Amino acid sequence: MTGKGHKHPQGRRIPQQDAAESAAPVPAPITPSTIYIGGPENGRELFRWADDRLVQAWREAPGAVSRQGAIYLGRVVKIEPSLNAAFVELGLERPGLLPLKKQNAVQEGATVIVQVRRDTREDKGVRLSTSLASTVDAAALAKGKTAPCCLVPPPEAWQSLLLSLAPQAIEAVICAGRNDAERVAAWCGAALPDIAARVSHEPMRDWARSRGEAIEEIAAALEEEVTLPGGGQLLIEPVRTLTAIDVNSAAATGRSGIEQTALAVNLDAAREVPRQLALRNLGGVIVIDFIDLQNRNKRDQIVQALREAVGIDPAIEWVGNMSRLGLVELQRKRNGATLAEMWGEVIKTGA
């Protein structure tokens, strides 16, 4: 059968959806997860497993710095009307960008309390917000301080991961180090009391899912192509403005005809895409190019399967409906370095 009738050129403009194709809210089914925390010999490592598959993998390499979640007292150094934004001096290598909801919201020279929502990327500074996601009274901490200065340091990666998941989605938190287990349990007792009792110490050699198994899945996820259970294939191509995911029939065959085979491959793809996005930690606009289907009910089946599958990834914020060309857009929150940035060198060197 012919896998596709159209492809995604890089950077193509995405067609606007009409009223009948407007987006729907993303549901949040619970997917129980076990989280393993290792290190710190070669940098802290975190692995999240769900349904016997690796879903997320973080690595805090020695010397690597993430400021996401940190709160600063900054000083506005420039207003940029064309961007409807302000540049804020934080005491870092370059000022951060603060989008403004309305003009004249701040003045040059003013001090402002901001939180880092996105780390530096390429030649851009951190992205900021005045809406603070924190239980700390930053305004009280700022009293008597001189801008620029850091008021609240960024959370550690394991804290961000635990906070991103619903408590009922965390089945167990297993730490390779005894001291780490005590520290994580103490933090959970204050911040996430429902899961404090699920934190335990277990040497890495005794983990039910070994680091070696995780490394194998990470290596596979660094490839562009993903083979689906029924023989179909995903081609995942991050480009500058978006991530394009192409669904192809590849080796998939079916006895029920082209349309049924296409449906089966598309359903496999819809169930796999959220895991791949979470594991690869790809953010921003994602466009999935499914195999064409003429039947509207079958197209709806695919979108429904996708919406059910995104429950595994709390960073997916929005899922659109399928366009007449088989395109589905979704939005995923940018959250730190990509899998390739964190693990590429480890896989290359076999560390």
pLDDT tens across the length of the chain (351 residues)? 445 543 333 333 333 344 334 454 444 567 899 999 997 666 789 999 999 999 999 998 666 678 999 999 999 999 999 999 999 999 999 999 999 988 778 899 999 999 999 888 777 899 999 999 887 899 999 999 999 999 999 999 999 999 999 999 999 999 999 999 999 999 999 999 999 999 999 999 999 999 999 999 999 999 999 999 989 999 999 988 899 999 998 776 665 678 888 999 999 999 999 999 999 999 999 999 999 998 999 999 999 999 999 999 999 999 999 998 899 999 999 888 899 989 998 898 876
Tokens found for residue 175: 């730490």
- In terms of phi and psi (left: phi > 0; alpha: psi -120 to 50; beta: otherwise), the region of 242 is beta
What pLDDT does residue 62 have?
Answer: 61
Residue with tokens 């938190």, as numbered in its chain: 173
Distance CA 336, CA 120 (A): 9
CATH class of the region 19-28+220-341: alpha beta
Helix (H, G, I), strand (E, B) or coil at 342: helix
Q: Give the domain 33-58+157-214 fold.
A: Nucleotidyltransferase; domain 5 (3.30.420)
Residue 33 φ/ψ, nearest 5 degrees: -130, 150
- Of 69, 52, 5, the closest CA to residue 333 belongs to 69
Distance CA 349, CA 98 (A): 39
Which alpha helices (DSSP H) does 91-153 contain, by range?
138-142
What pLDDT does residue 20 have?
Answer: 38
Residue with tokens 């960024």, as numbered in its chain: 154
Domain extent listing, the chain: 19-28+220-341, 33-58+157-214, 71-152
**What letters, b where the CB count within 10 A reaches 16 and e where it falls short, cover 265-283?**
bbbbbbbbbbbbbbbbbbb
Which alpha helices (DSSP H) does the chain contain, by range?
138-142, 157-164, 178-191, 211-221, 258-280, 296-309, 339-349
- C-alpha distances (whole Å) from 129 to each of 81, 85, 115, 165, 298 are 17, 11, 5, 22, 41
Q: Which residues contact 126 (CB under 8 A, 6 or more apart)?
A: 67, 68, 90, 92, 96, 97, 116, 117, 118, 119, 120
8 Å CB contact between 61 and 342: yes
Q: Give the domain 71-152 fold.
A: OB fold (Dihydrolipoamide Acetyltransferase, E2P) (2.40.50)
What pLDDT does residue 16 have?
Answer: 38
What pLDDT does residue 255 have?
Answer: 55
What pLDDT does residue 167 have?
Answer: 93
Task: Provide the whole-model pTM.
Answer: 0.84
Report the length, in residues, of the chain: 351
Q: Which residues contact 186 (CB under 8 A, 6 or more apart)?
A: none
Do 33-58+157-214 and 71-152 show the same overall fold?
Answer: no
